[in-house]
Structure 1
Amino acid sequence: MKKKIVAYISLLIMTMIVMTACGGTKKSAKDEDEMVAMGPAFSADSAYAFCAKQCEFGPRTMNSEAHDQCAAWIVAQFQNYGMAVTEQRAVLKGFDGTPLRANNIIASYRPEQTDRILLCAHWDSRPWADNDPDEANHTKPVMAANDGASGVAVMLEIARLIHTAQDTLASFGIDFVCFDAEDWGTDGQNDSWALGAQYWAAQQKVQKEGGNYRYGILLDMVGGQGARFYRELFSRQYAPKVVNRVWKAAEVAGFGSFFPQQDGGMITDDHGPVNEVAGIPCIDIIPYYPDCVESSFGPTWHTVHDDMEHIDPTTLKAVGQTLVQVLYSEK
């Protein structure tokens, strides 16, 4: 994915921003302190296989055959797990004027339910490995095992679990949204990223005004080796209660070490238009590598090394089991 322009500030300044924007955040004893481990076991092996399958198509860059083939596979997988699937197609304009044949894939669990939760991730690949240490690779596409496939893989495994377990999630429905055209952006143009999410959010505002979603959770680069998921600051600004709930769920699920109670940065990502345009409180689960020389998003970000060799099943498990905990502890 692109991991958009990052504004990592000092911890003191970040804390002041959050306190100013949110008035501080308070934990809910009912929603958080009383949480106990719930839900089926998330299979890291299954999620890993879903990730690998997407990569078998090759880089899923916009307007490519691999992109179209992978889209058909994602649709079929969600349908196999009993989801009602809608393909939201649109021709969007890239920052360079390129027409992009975008396809947001929306898979709905219990579509008849008006009270819903949004899980989302982008599924396209960046067409240029422009952060690769070897300049000769800068015009090559990124495989996007982590920055693309990992988030979709976690969502597919959760859909499979819900379908297989047949446990009761009767009080709400779930929309799994795979955003397209996220990674066709350029530095200095924040609105050139997340084109698919921008389109989805605009349509959502017209159709539903965002009022039927309790909240949303965006998954971005959730399978990398050594990943730790610090609290993203736009998430804390727009949806502090959701941040608190998810980070507490990670602790209850046994993966608190992957979700430090520390702040990361402000990231331009798909959750931006979901919050600002659709009006849905949405957070971003995205890694932060504070000591990584290559990138604060990790050493493989926007390089040709974003491949399956650098995907860690344990990271997928940590994120996936945390989301299971969140969903199955909902009332």
Structure 2
Amino acid sequence: MILLYLLFVCCVVKCYEPLSAQSLARLSSLNLGCGLSLDPDDSNNHFVHLNKTRVPGSKGSLEVREYIKDHFDELNKEGEVWLIEEDNFVEKGYNFSNIVVQTACADARDKLVVAAHYDTLIKPEGFIGAIDSAVSCGIMLDISRALNGLLRSHLDEMDMGLAFIFFDGEEAFEKWSATDSIYGARHLHSKWMKSAELATIDLFVLLDLLGGELNYVPSYFPQTHENYNDMAILERRLLNDFPEIMKSQNFFANPSDYEREYFGIIEDDHIPFLRSRVPVLHLIPSRFPETWHTINDDFLHVDINSIKRWNYLMAAFIIEYLELPV
């Protein structure tokens, strides 16, 4: 991920009703966080299954891919909610596989996309990539389980769908460049451009480098600054209802004028989508963690309270954006 300074034309953002105080308070009924812990003996803990190297095409990558698909297959046993697709391709001799999971909403023309990459660096050997980005994948898995019943109950009336994308090949094999990075994102973007699927993305939310102690995320793009402010407001409301989860006022987001928040663009999986004028909300800290791209990026160096906060905040944001009754 490399810092660049670009400016893109503003576009219209979705307007929706803020989550009611009653609905926000009922988040606790969804049992958020049941799959997120640092207990290595808990088989229901997603991090246990993500705690391995995940270089594209490797045994670890295949195991994690199967775990993600099995997770959604299991949720579908209660009634089909999720359409699961693998986007497989070969580039530079490596086998890549994006996992795209979307709600089976027959009448939904547009969708909210929440994405993260699940691959890891090839070097240093044994790199786990907990913050980069197993934590983000675990949050997506936990939220999908927590919201499964709500989504199943309201599929027929939803006018906007939800998609979780697990990108492969975000990391460079040699040195970050336009052709040695974001393999999965570039491939899926090209595929969706040809099928007109790209035009159905109402908002693209990308999670990366979450779960450490340094979590402040600025507002990166003017076209999604209102979405950013909505999330910042939700975070402050959550502090009132869930002080045991939020604990401190060291907020992840800060509602303010865009000019003061602008930090430029960090190259990541969102880049091809952003260049096609897809509205992007990039949730990545402006200061990378000290463990970034080192062997110490493991589950001994994550902050479980930070993970739980992001989990509640993302769940609340998704519910509010999709206007799901809680």
2:301 aligned partner: 310
**How many angstroms does 1:199 deviate by?**
0.6
How far did 1:40 drift? 2.5
- Give the aligned partner of residue 249 of structure 1: 234
Q: Is 1:275 paired with 2:274? A: yes
Choose 167-176 or 215-224, whichever is displaced more. 167-176
Deviation at 1:26, TM superposition (A): 11
Question: Partners of 1:184 and 1:161 in 2: how far apart?
Answer: 33
Pair 1:205 & 2:188 matched: no
Aligned CA distance change for structure 1 residues 106 and 26 (closer, same or farther; 3 Å)? closer
RMSD over aligned Cα, in angstroms? 2.8
SS for the counterpart of 1:40 is helix
CA contact (8 A) 1:121 1:152 kept: yes
Matched residue of 1:305: which SS? coil
CA offset digits 1:293-325 (Å, max 9, x no partner): xxxx11111111111111222222222211222
Aligned-residue offset at 1:283: 1.5
1:154 to 133, 136, 139: 139
Aligned mate of 2:65, from 57, 71, 75: 71
SS of corresponding position for 2:84: strand
Counterpart mapping for 1:87-236 below 5 A: 87-93=86-92, 99-112=93-106, 113-129=108-124, 140-165=125-150, 168=154, 170-184=158-172, 187=175, 189-224=177-212, 226-233=213-220, 236=221
Aligned partner of residue 200 in structure 1, secondary structure: helix
What SS does the corresponding residue of 1:325 show, helix, strand or coil? helix
Q: Structure 2: 5+ residue runs without aligned partners? A: 38-44, 77-81, 240-245, 256-260
- TM-score w.r.t. structure 1 length? 0.77
**Cα distance 1:26–1:239, how it changes in 2: closer, same or farther (>3 A)?**
closer
Measure how far apart 1:238 and its partner are. 4.7
- CA contact 1:215–1:242 (8 Å) conserved in 2: no
Shift of 1:77: 0.6
In the alignment, which residue of structure 1 is the partner of 2:27?
Answer: 40
Alignment length (residue pairs): 288
TM-score by length of 2: 0.78
Q: CA deviation at 1:241?
A: 2.9
Q: Is the 8 A contact 1:35 1:249 kept in 2?
A: no
Question: Runs of 5+ in structure 1 lacking a partner?
Answer: 8-13, 94-98, 130-139, 290-296
In the TM superposition, structure 1's runs of 4+ consecutive aligned residues that sit over 6 Å from their partners are 25-28, 32-35
Deviates most, 243-252 or 165-174: 165-174
- Aligned CA distance change for structure 1 residues 100 and 241 (closer, same or farther; 3 Å): farther
Aligned in 2, Cα 1:328/1:144: closer, same or farther, shift over 3 Å? same
TM-superposition CA deviations, 1:136-182 (whole Å, max 9, x none):
xxxx2411111021111111111101114556463321111100000
Work out the CA distance in 2 between the residues paired with 1:229 and 1:110.
Answer: 34
Query: Using the alignment, how far apart are the partners of 2:104 and 2:238 within structure 1?
Result: 25
Alpha-carbon distance in 1 for matches of 2:313, 2:225: 17
1:27–1:244: 8 Å Cα contact kept in structure 2?
A: no
Percent of residue pairs identical? 20
Partner of 1:266: 265
The one-letter amino acid paired with 1:173 is: G
Letter in 2 for 1:195: Y
CA distance in structure 1 between the aligned counterparts of 2:265 and 2:128, rounded to whole angstroms: 25
Opposite residue 278 of structure 2, the aligned amino acid is I
For 1:167 and 1:314, locate their aligned partners in 2 and report how far apart those are by CA, in whole Å: 31
Q: Distance in 2 between matches of 1:271 and 1:232?
A: 15
Structure 1 residues 61 and 27, CA gap change in structure 2 (3 angstroms)? closer
CA contact (8 A) 1:217 1:285 kept: yes
